[in-house]
Chain A
Amino acid sequence: MSFDLKDPSKNTNRFPQIIYVTGKGGVGKSTIAMLIGEALANEGKRSILVELNGNRVIPNYYNLSSLGYKELQLLPNLYCLSISPEEAIQEYLLQQLKFKKIVDLFTKNKVISPLLQNAPGLHDAVQLGKIYSLAEQDKWDHVIIDGPATGHGEVLLDAAKTLMDMTQIGPMYQSNKIVDQVLRDHRRCKIIIVTLLEEMVIQETMQLLDSFEQNSDRKRQLGGVIINRYQNRLMNIDTRTIDSEKLQHKLQAINEHIREHNEQVELEVKQYSRLQSFLEKGSISEIPRLKIPFLSDRASSKVQLYLEMLSILDQSLGRSS
């Protein structure tokens, strides 16, 4: 696969192809990215999942020993790739310097290597460059990015711009300019934010939404908010018709558990309202939302999930059905 940073295709009718999934650490980004990939693949869209963080959620789910820099097939129409910054830098240097021996001189040099290690945003920018070159191939209908957690998530998206600001001139500047243009084009790239209905997570999610809202490019790119691990209330048990006293006691103890559970669900409902109010107040009230339930066996309700996911993607990606 070549790391090709030619000018972006003139065809701006291409539907939003790049889907960037981000959110606070621990909300289930990788799982949601997989679900998006599966839903689209199931619909016949040739999709590739891009893993950036070296985490094992995706390989474990598909029973793979590891992911690599080469595409791996997961399901019909669904492929996967892991882009580590080190490998991306190697490939980029190879393209610029032409010969592996020279690249090795760079990366193994005691002076140059720390420089490369510590150049701010360099690792992020080469990952973005790789994503860009993937998107520019005619192979993929969709490129789904399992993005880093918030804090780093927004920084990564801006990495090409950071490099532009840092370098100002030269080939690095030029190539990052191209990459940045595509990655902030709402017609090419949409952002999906995953959240949980927990106080601190909602707090960070609102901050993230706010920071995106402040930037006119990012605002248009906001594709949707997905609420993960959504829980339902449990029904209270009416013990009046129970004869056995022992059983009654047991059921009352169970009701106590149920009461605590429902209290927790109430808090989550409050957090959802908090998020809703926040969205209503701002200029992004139209942003689509989807709740994904806390599941033990997703398999049984997968078809239903795919349909729901596709309907939110229809809205986020502005697809005509």
Chain B
Amino acid sequence: MKTWVCCGVGGVGKTTISTALALFYAKSGKKVALITIDPAKRLQDALGVQLTHQPTEVIPNLHACMLDAQKCFDELVGEIHPKKQEMLNNRYYQFASTRMGGIQEFMSVVLISKILMGSYDVLIIDTPPSRNAISFLQAPSRMTGLLEDSVLRYFVSSNDKSGLFSMQMGVSLLSKALQQFLGGKMISDMTDFFSLFQPIAKEMTRVAKVVDTHLLTNSKFLYITTPSRPQFELIEFYNKLQQSQYQISNIIINRFPKKAILIQEDEQNTIVSHEILVAIDEYRKTFHRKYQTGIRLKEMITTGNLIDVEKVISIPFHRFSSKNESEKMSQEFDQNSSKSQLEEYHIFFDYFDVL
């Protein structure tokens, strides 16, 4: 299953581009699965279906789903776990699943593994807008590290509730210190959670390995950015990916600004009106400044020795048309309206030909 992983920070148009890419492949006859993370209402309206964590058909050849970390985990626990309620009631689980980003990334790994079992030709993954773009990709190995048998064994409380303390001297001394430092309740909550977790740990580790392998071998990484993002962001991401042995294969610079139309000096000299000259100058300054941010980014990429990057694609800024007020008011869902909204994404297709 050919996979495109769309990375980038929040706000660059990742979800829009992932959707357009999915449509592109679907229209060319491929069977496509699209995983979106946090689609805006505009996108949900355009897709025209209620997105859940189960793939739903949008148009023939295109199935889309949305990550719902809580539901995903509940299902996972429900499917394989004998003591589901105890797990869900565990305070550590409640904190970890609602407040901390970790669970969202772990669950996206689970969701991906489910899709991989399907019969799609192409998978497009829209990554979570997390603290840093790389944390999503590190999720499989973090899961494995945490669930490693040697670590989990310490938390097993079969007969002995204090499984944590029954190990070698070194660990038990540390454990006592840790208990003092973190407070008894927290330790016992975590201990309970991990011992409850053990039955599904094996399955999670297997899933993580499958996804990790797939990301390393069958996937291409598409990095999406805009000229207003600081340049070091791309470099840092590129380096972090290299370290993990992944590669950015293509970079998309979204919302590329328009080049200013220049008035030559001899032309300008024929203009008498001061007002016009001021207007031209303001225009030139505004457009030139914006355009330069795009050019500088492009130059930085091409001269920056980013090996393995195949193509840099610049997509001009496009303003999506908004529904007029009366349509918005309508309670009825309108099939035609959604179709035409979806067609608007076709403007991106020309840019995807090179991929």
Contact of B199 with A by CB under 8 A: no
A166-B95 contact, Cβ under 8 Å, with A26-B12, A243-B270, A257-B283 = yes
Give the chain B neighbours of A24 by CB distance below 8 A: 10-11
Cβ contact within 8 Å between A167 and B183 = yes
Cβ contact within 8 Å between B100 and A106 = no
Contact of A211 with B by CB under 8 A: no
Contact of B174 with A by CB under 8 A: yes
A250-B10 contact, Cβ under 8 Å, with A96-B181, A110-B150, A166-B91 = no
Contact of B101 with A by CB under 8 A: yes
A56-B186 contact, Cβ under 8 Å, with A114-B145, A152-B131, A155-B99 = no
The CA of A244 and the CA of B260, in the complex, are separated in Å by 20
Residues of B in contact (CB 8 Å), total 65
Whose C-beta in chain A lies nearest to the C-beta of B153?
Answer: A111
Query: Which of B150, B178, B267, B283 has a CB less than 8 Å from the CB of A234?
Result: B283
Cβ contact within 8 Å between B11 and A250 = no
Query: Which of B129, B167, B261 has a CB less than 8 Å from the CB of A25?
Result: B129
Cβ contact within 8 Å between B96 and A120 = yes
Cβ contact within 8 Å between B267 and A115 = no
Cβ contact within 8 Å between B270 and A172 = no
Contact of A303 with B by CB under 8 A: no
Cβ contact within 8 Å between B267 and A171 = no
For residue A152, give the distance in angstroms from its CB to the closest CB of chain B. 6
A170-B180 contact, Cβ under 8 Å, with A115-B190, A118-B102, A120-B100 = yes
A26-B283 contact, Cβ under 8 Å, with A120-B99, A241-B272 = no
Cβ contact within 8 Å between A114 and B11 = no
| Dominant secondary structure at the B interface | helix
**Which chain A residues numbered 160 to 176 have a C-beta less than 8 Å away from chain B?**
162, 165-173
Contact of A53 with B by CB under 8 A: yes
Contact of A16 with B by CB under 8 A: no
Give the chain A neighbours of B120 by CB distance below 8 A: none
The CA of A155 and the CA of B180, in the complex, are separated in Å by 25
| Dominant secondary structure at the A interface | helix
Cβ contact within 8 Å between B283 and A121 = no
Contact of B60 with A by CB under 8 A: no
Contact of A258 with B by CB under 8 A: yes
Contact of B335 with A by CB under 8 A: no
For residue B243, give the distance in angstroms from its CB to the closest CB of chain A. 15
The CA of A53 and the CA of B9, in the complex, are separated in Å by 14
Give the chain B neighbours of A203 by CB distance below 8 A: 40
Partner-contacting stretch, out of A43-51, A178-186, A260-268: A260-268
Contact of B228 with A by CB under 8 A: yes
Query: Which of A56, A167, A231, A244 has a CB less than 8 Å from the CB of B270?
Result: A244
For residue A267, give the distance in angstroms from its CB to the closest CB of chain B. 7
Contact of B246 with A by CB under 8 A: no
Partner-contacting stretch, out of B25-33, B44-52, B229-237, B304-312: B229-237
Cβ contact within 8 Å between A170 and B182 = yes
The CA of A231 and the CA of B289, in the complex, are separated in Å by 13
The CA of A150 and the CA of B9, in the complex, are separated in Å by 13
Contact of A75 with B by CB under 8 A: no
Cβ contact within 8 Å between A234 and B279 = yes
Cβ contact within 8 Å between A120 and B92 = yes
Contact of B346 with A by CB under 8 A: no
The CA of A120 and the CA of B93, in the complex, are separated in Å by 9
Contact of B271 with A by CB under 8 A: yes
Whose C-beta in chain B lies nearest to the C-beta of A123?
Answer: B100
**Which chain B residues numbered 107 to 166 have a C-beta less than 8 Å away from chain A?**
129, 131-132, 145-146, 150-151, 154
Cβ contact within 8 Å between B183 and A25 = no
The CA of A60 and the CA of B235, in the complex, are separated in Å by 14
Cβ contact within 8 Å between A167 and B186 = yes
Whose C-beta in chain B lies nearest to the C-beta of A176?
Answer: B183
Per-position 1/0 for A42-86, Cβ under 8 A of B:
000000000001111100100000000000000000000000000
The CA of A24 and the CA of B10, in the complex, are separated in Å by 8
For residue A154, give the distance in angstroms from its CB to the closest CB of chain B. 10
Can you sample 9 A-B contacts with CB below 8 Å?
A26-B11, A155-B99, A166-B91, A169-B184, A234-B286, A238-B275, A241-B272, A247-B271, A254-B261
A residues apposed to B, CB below 8 Å: 24-26, 53-57, 60, 93, 96-97, 102, 105-106, 109-112, 114-115, 117-121, 148-149, 151-152, 155, 158, 162, 165-173, 198-201, 203, 229, 231, 234-238, 241-244, 246-247, 250-251, 253-254, 257-258, 260-261, 263-264, 267, 296
B residues apposed to A, CB below 8 Å: 9-12, 40, 42, 91-92, 95-96, 99-102, 129, 131-132, 145-146, 150-151, 154, 167, 170-171, 174-175, 177-178, 180-186, 189-190, 228-230, 232-233, 236, 258, 260-261, 263, 267, 270-273, 275-276, 278-280, 282-283, 285-287, 289, 319
Further 6 A-B residue pairs, CB within 8 A, beyond A115-B178, A118-B146, A254-B280: A55-B230, A97-B177, A119-B190, A169-B185, A171-B183, A238-B276
